Amino acid sequence: MPNEQNLIVPSSSEARKNGAKGGKKSGEVRRRKKTMKQVMDFLLEQPANTRADYEFLVEQGIDLNSLDPDFINNMLLVNAALMARAKQGDVAAVKELRDIIRDDDMLKHKIKYDNARLRLEKQKLEPVSMPDKAYSGIPASLVAPTFSPVLFDIAEQEHSEYVFPGGRGSTKSSFCGLNVIDLLMKNENMHACVLRAVANTLKDSVYSQILWAISALGLDDEFACTKSPLEITRISTGQKIYFRGADDPYKMKSIKPPFGYIGIVWFEELDQFGGEEAVRTIEQSVIRGGEKAYKFKSFNPPKSAQNWANKYIKVPRTDRLVTESTYLTVPKKWLGKPFLDDAEFLKETNPTAYENEYMGVANGTG
């Protein structure tokens, strides 16, 4: 144990020498790690060319005839082995596979996003027209009967504000998501902003809903999606879909599209915002410029008839269309048997709660 007698303090020159040695050692370790990574990358890219390798891949259910021969390498073997372990309940293997998939998705999105950004910089952010073959609109097969007339109303620009109060499973949020994408595709000078009252609810609700809409419309290759920032970009034009929470007004005011204007807004769970005035303030901050705008507002009506959102839809306004909806008009196969069973059970055991939650009736006295 050191004490005053045996404690030796190195001189400043010795300290410098020791530091230099440490720096060299650290550099050698980094270089060695880099070399080992390069060697491992090289080995993983080598063909899986032994009989045992091919037999193992076939055992895992991989059809080798459908694969490019160059793709049958050691990396494929490693992933197949992970899959085999995962099927046997190996939690670590499941986690590793998820990490690989997640990293791959993030890389693909980043590549798409970066390529789009570089193209836009070269074009000085000028929108690019879509090829003639492309987009034909929202298929009728994706729209519940209640909302079919609304599609025509939007197409004819009969109204600028569309409010959808409805019960669970009425597909109102899906319809809003589809229209955000549809209107972006048809208005290349517009951007969109999707809002919720609280920012930390965005990713697992409206962001996921927009991703679903993109996929349902067959436009996965047309959009680049990022989570930091939480944003979606149409690659061919640079149009943006911003996601914002009303609890962060500074971020709301800081939205500045690279061109054009924000002409599409969607307020999800309208009743959770701070009232009609708060919503109006957000609209004034976000929608600026342009000759037309589309506002979508969806919510499950709260129990109390006195709630501001329930009162809001009772006030007539010529440019507003209110469309109420329930799960009863939705194809049963969209909802699934468990959903329908839960609804029926609540209807039998608690009719008042059923009326509010599934039928969208404000039946409370508060």
Question: What is the full DSSP assignment across 302-336?
Answer: -SBTTSHHHHHTTS--TTEEE--B-GGGS-HHHH-
The pLDDT confidence band at residue 78, using thresholds 50, 70 and 90, is confident
306-316 pLDDT, tens digit each:
999 999 999 99
The pLDDT confidence band at residue 207, using thresholds 50, 70 and 90, is very high
- Comparing 27-31, 86-90, 241-245, the range with the smallest average pLDDT is 86-90
Phi-psi label, residue 86: left if phi above 0, alpha if psi -120 to 50, beta otherwise: alpha
Full-prediction pTM beyond 0.85?
Answer: no
pLDDT at 9: 52
Share of the chain above pLDDT 70, in %: 69
The pLDDT confidence band at residue 230, using thresholds 50, 70 and 90, is very high
Phi-psi label, residue 122: left if phi above 0, alpha if psi -120 to 50, beta otherwise: alpha
Distance in angstroms (rounded) separating the CA atoms of residues 267 and 245: 10
The overall average pLDDT reported for the chain is 82
Domain residues of the chain, as ranges? 29-87, 140-357
Max avg pLDDT among 33-37, 107-111, 298-302: 298-302
Task: Compute, in degrees rounded to 10, the torsion defined by CA atoms 144, 148, 151, 156.
Answer: 180
Are 269 and 197 contacting, i.e. CB atoms less than 8 angstroms apart? Answer: yes
- Tell me the mean pLDDT in the region 258-280: 95
- Tell me the mean pLDDT in the region 254-272: 94
- Comparing 9-23, 144-158, 201-215, 328-342, the range with the smallest average pLDDT is 9-23
161-175 pLDDT, tens digit each:
999 999 999 999 999
Are 159 and 319 contacting, i.e. CB atoms less than 8 angstroms apart? Answer: yes
Are 264 and 190 contacting, i.e. CB atoms less than 8 angstroms apart? Answer: yes
- Tell me the mean pLDDT in the region 233-241: 96
The pLDDT confidence band at residue 131, using thresholds 50, 70 and 90, is very low
- Comparing 59-63, 319-323, 329-333, the range with the smallest average pLDDT is 59-63
The pLDDT confidence band at residue 37, using thresholds 50, 70 and 90, is low
Q: What is the CATH number of domain 140-357?
A: 3.40.50.300
Higher pLDDT, 75 or 128: 75
pLDDT at 109: 53
Task: Assess whether pLDDT exceeds 70 at residue 20.
Answer: no
Distance in angstroms (rounded) separating the CA atoms of residues 190 and 301: 30
Distance in angstroms (rounded) separating the CA atoms of residues 243 and 265: 10
The vertex-325 CA angle with 160 and 366, nearest 5°, equals 95
285-302 pLDDT, tens digit each:
899 888 899 999 999 999
Task: Assess whether pLDDT exceeds 70 at residue 54.
Answer: no
**Which residues form the catalytic set?**
269
Higher pLDDT, 223 or 119: 223
Task: Assess whether pLDDT exceeds 90 at residue 234.
Answer: yes
- Comparing 127-136, 163-172, 320-329, the range with the smallest average pLDDT is 127-136
Grouping H, G, I as helix, E, B as strand and the rest as coil, residue 132 is coil
